Structure 1
Amino acid sequence: MSRKLSFVSCILLILLLSTWVAGQQIGTSLAENHPKLITQRCAKGSGCSENPRSIVLDANWRWLHTTSGYTNCYTGSSWNRDICSDPESCTAKCALDGADYPTTYGITTNNDELTLKFVTKHAYGTNVGSRVYLMDSSDSNYEMFYLKNQEFSFDVDVSNLPCGINGALYFVEMEKDGGSSNPNNKAGAKYGTGYCDAQCPHDIKYIKGQANLLDWDEKKKVGRWGSCCNEMDIWEANSIASAYTPHPCNVTGLHRCEGGNCNVCDQPGCDFNSYRLGDRDFFGENKIVDTKQKFTVITQFHTSDNTTRGDLVEIRRIYIQNGRVIQNSKVNVPGMNQYDSITNKFCDSQKDVFQDKNDFKNKGGLKAVGRSLDRGHVLVMSLWDDSNVNMLWLDSNFPLDRPATQPGVARGTCPISSGKPEEVERDYPNAYVKFSKVRVGDIGSTVL
């Protein structure tokens, strides 16, 4: 399960900045300069070569103001109805501006390392969390990843992520240009537009080139439309618990939904969380994968014929820490085999034993995930807290209407009282996640 779009509450009370915004026109108050990030492409027999890239901040965080001046189109949790009376006029009259990545958002890069800081105070207010995407060499489009018969690896430091905070790295089936082929979207990928995921988030301010202000709920900060697409969660974690989870959808690319047609994706997904699956000693502080130290995460996408043309049949996880290769944990749940990777059989068994609806199978399972990967995915890295259910689905007991002793309910050691955004933002403002050494290539090629 992932809930990436319920997280930040950066409220800027004066003119120059306002978060949780997005738009389609381009402002000129601050130049957009993407922080550089070195990644690598790898191949068996020839090793890895550097790919200098950059990252871009999601449009939902950016200042949105009138194209003719500096009046906010959106402030705090409210649209300016004098400007934004309807979706069309709001799109035409409002512009996204550039971002000061380190000062306003706590986002920094250093060669191959990206740091996302949790709370950043600055001259105009406070920012909480962030979401960024990897750009391609043109610096105008997103980098597209095709992961079947490939492996993806990165190093991560989650030592400063307590209960209730999620440092996530994942892939979604976004458009390469961020939707700039739509005539209403002049900003595009360069300004971080076009987000979607399997939760069909309704808090995206602009979807398919139109402002999402109809039926806007100021308390929940959501509108009528959702933004759905296939999602592959490589990594959702803090220092307590972690999970990797494919989420298939029965739509292609970004699907703007409303009402009943938002049930197009497997929102819970088929997750592999070692704690939830019965190994309580595998992941965490001073455990087999020790979250007090940095480690490498390797994810392999195996196909039926060991080529990119075959069906996706297995997603396998390996760790490396202090030079030691650590194979993934094995399932230790009564009624389940000792699975150690995500396969259709694992997912069917997990859903049955945990008494969960098997929407993963209903939405096409791994074969559907593979078809989506064939179309290309965008790399997302984010840091967030959860105003919906306090991240309990990742690191505590969830759902709360089931006993903790029921298989699949306990997901980590965090108490069910933990994870409230107002508390973690107050108590852990200096929390951060660091991602580094991002690599993709042939299976067996990304770790030297």
Structure 2
Amino acid sequence: MDIWEANSRANQIAPHTCSKDGLFRCTGEECKSNGLCDKNGCGDNPYRHRGAKDFYGLGLKVDTSKPFTVVTQFPAKDGVLQAIVRKYVQNGVVIENAATNITMDQAYCSAQGGAEMYSKLGGHKGMGDALARGMVLAMSIWWDEGGFMKWLDSGEAGPCNATEGNPKVIPTIEKAPVVKFSQIKWGEIGSTFAEKNHTMYRWRA
């Protein structure tokens, strides 16, 4: 469950499913793109999938030059995951995800090109089952010397050019890149954050 793939210019959430339950180690063909686990996932990037090019970034609706809270919700019905919901909280204001008429449900993932394996290997039901079994939160910094993170923030995915994510270029622009994670919470839907105001934005893709 890639719950937060992001930098200051773009972000994505991407669940991935496997056809085998629990913790296991793949070998050989099992590890490849047509193996036991879905490599692409079902992505939701506000810039790419919701047409919201002025929503997330430096000085935008979700202003990444300032601290903000990322909220991810997993509503279920009769134990089956129905959707994955993303919200943000900044300066006490809850900001709904861009294009609120788009729901990241199974229909969304079934219609998304490149997410066929996600649906084939279990889709939202499989993802929900995996979440229910329990997961460990792990964080890492992606220093992409091969693809320069273009899949995340360049072309259709974001405003960056083809070389901004080159690890050799980054220090010439940002001498001391840093990210801080804090106040990580888990709980029932709506219990992990407080709001002073509620803001909803709409876009035309």
- TM-score above 0.5, yes or no: yes
Q: Does 1:275 align with 2:47?
A: yes
Cα deviation code 1:196-234 (max 9, x no counterpart): xxxxxxxxxxxxxxxxxxxxxxxxxxxxxxxxxxxx111
TM-score (norm 2): 0.86
Structure 2: segments with no counterpart, 5+ residues = 195-205
Aligned twin of 1:446: 192
Q: Does 1:244 align with 2:19?
A: no
Aligned twin of 1:302: 75
**SS in structure 2 of the partner of residue 379 of structure 1:** coil
**Number of residue pairs aligned between Structure 1 and Structure 2:** 190
Aligned twin of 2:148: 390
Cα deviation code 1:119-157 (max 9, x no counterpart): xxxxxxxxxxxxxxxxxxxxxxxxxxxxxxxxxxxxxxx
Aligned twin of 1:378: 136
* Structure with the bigger percentage of strand: 1
Aligned twin of 1:62: none
Partner Cα separation in structure 1 for residue 115 and residue 91 of structure 2: 39
Partner Cα separation in structure 1 for residue 174 and residue 39 of structure 2: 28
Q: Does 1:324 align with 2:93?
A: yes
Alpha-carbon distance, 1:292 to partner: 1.0
Aligned twin of 1:58: none
Question: Which of 355, 366, 369 matches 2:124?
Answer: 366
Question: Residue 148 of structure 2 contacts residue 167 of structure 2 at CA under 8 Å; is this kept in 1?
Answer: yes
Amino acid in the other structure paired with 1:438:
I
Cα deviation code 1:239-291 (max 9, x no counterpart): 10011111111122333223211121111111110000211111011111111
Partner Cα separation in structure 2 for residue 420 and residue 301 of structure 1: 34
Amino acid in the other structure paired with 2:157:
R
Alpha-carbon distance, 1:429 to partner: 4.8
Q: How does 1:131-210 map to 2 (within 5 A)?
A: none
TM-score (norm 1): 0.41
Alpha-carbon distance, 1:421 to partner: 2.2
Question: Residue 56 of structure 2 contacts residue 64 of structure 2 at CA under 8 Å; is this kept in 1?
Answer: yes
Amino acid in the other structure paired with 2:178:
Y
Amino acid in the other structure paired with 1:314:
A
Partner Cα separation in structure 2 for residue 287 and residue 276 of structure 1: 16
> Following TM superposition, where does structure 1 have runs of at least 4 consecutive aligned residues deviating by more than 6 angstroms?
none
Question: Residue 88 of structure 2 contacts residue 97 of structure 2 at CA under 8 Å; is this kept in 1?
Answer: yes
Change (3 A) 1:321 1:357: closer
Amino acid in the other structure paired with 1:388:
G
Partner Cα separation in structure 1 for residue 169 and residue 24 of structure 2: 35
* Structure with the bigger percentage of helix: 2
Aligned twin of 2:110: 348
Q: Does 1:411 align with 2:185?
A: no
Aligned twin of 1:79: none
Alpha-carbon distance, 1:426 to partner: 5.7
Alpha-carbon distance, 1:359 to partner: 1.1
**SS in structure 2 of the partner of residue 370 of structure 1:** helix
Alpha-carbon distance, 1:441 to partner: 0.9
Amino acid in the other structure paired with 2:48:
R
Amino acid in the other structure paired with 2:44:
F
Change (3 A) 1:441 1:357: closer
**SS in structure 2 of the partner of residue 434 of structure 1:** coil
Q: Percent identity?
A: 44
Q: Does 1:284 align with 2:57?
A: yes
Partner Cα separation in structure 1 for residue 68 and residue 44 of structure 2: 18
Alpha-carbon distance, 1:427 to partner: 4.8
Structure 1: segments with no counterpart, 5+ residues = 1-231, 332-337, 398-409
Question: Residue 109 of structure 2 contacts residue 115 of structure 2 at CA under 8 Å; is this kept in 1?
Answer: no
